[in-house]
């Protein structure tokens, strides 16, 4: 094989690899992104339908109820509230009155069924998404 052909073949090979990788990446990105939605937007019907998404906000004081392994609580941006249910063990930092992020889907009665509950690893730390949800709700309320 001539060196020229060899180089051409290598370039074609490299491009093909990149193309396959690009297809894989775009495909995976499309189906595996979770959008952050604020509680107010969820109530306004702006949440994606049939797809998992994330809600950030505060866990409402006094809303945590335990029914054996299923926990119920309310996540709020201090304007609107979303009831959440989750089956399993909550992270250490999950607390009423503190920020949390939940990932999951809405069921037919408007209850959010969480598949994952995230609370950050520092007691003085607020998830940026939760903070943003509060700020946005406040801004809209002031209007």
Per CB under 8 A, residues contacting other proteins are: 1, 3, 6-7, 9-10, 13-14, 17-18, 21, 24-25, 27-29, 31-36, 54, 66, 68-69, 87-90, 92-93, 103, 118, 120-123, 125, 127-129, 132
Q: How far is the CB of 49 from other proteins (least distance, A)?
A: 16
Q: How far is the CB of 121 from other proteins (least distance, A)?
A: 5
Encoding tokens for residue 12? Answer: 């074609």
52 Cβ contact partners less than 8 Å away, ≥ 6 residues apart: 34, 103, 104, 105, 115
Cβ closest to other proteins, residue 13 vs residue 110: 13
Q: How far is the CB of 79 from other proteins (least distance, A)?
A: 18
What sign has the CA pseudo-torsion 114, 109, 50, 38?
A: negative
CB-CB contact of 133 with 77 (8 Å): yes
């Amino acid at each position: 094989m001539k060196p020229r052909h060899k180089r051409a073949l290598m370039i074609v090979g490299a491009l093909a690899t990149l193309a396959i990788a690009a297809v894989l990446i775009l495909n995976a990105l499309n189906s595996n992104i979770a959008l952050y939605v604020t509680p107010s937007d969820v109530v306004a019907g702006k949440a994606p339908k049939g797809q998992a998404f994330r809600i950030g906000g505060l866990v409402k004081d006094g809303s945590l109820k335990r029914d054996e392994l299923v926990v119920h609580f309310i996540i709020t941006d201090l304007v609107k509230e979303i009831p959440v249910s989750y089956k399993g063990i909550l992270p250490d930092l999950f607390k009423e009155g503190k920020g949390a992020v939940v990932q999951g889907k809405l069921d037919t009665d408007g209850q959010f069924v969480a598949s994952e509950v995230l609370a950050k690893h520092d007691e003085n730390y607020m998830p940026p998404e939760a903070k943003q949800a509060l700020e946005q709700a406040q801004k809209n309320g002031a209007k």
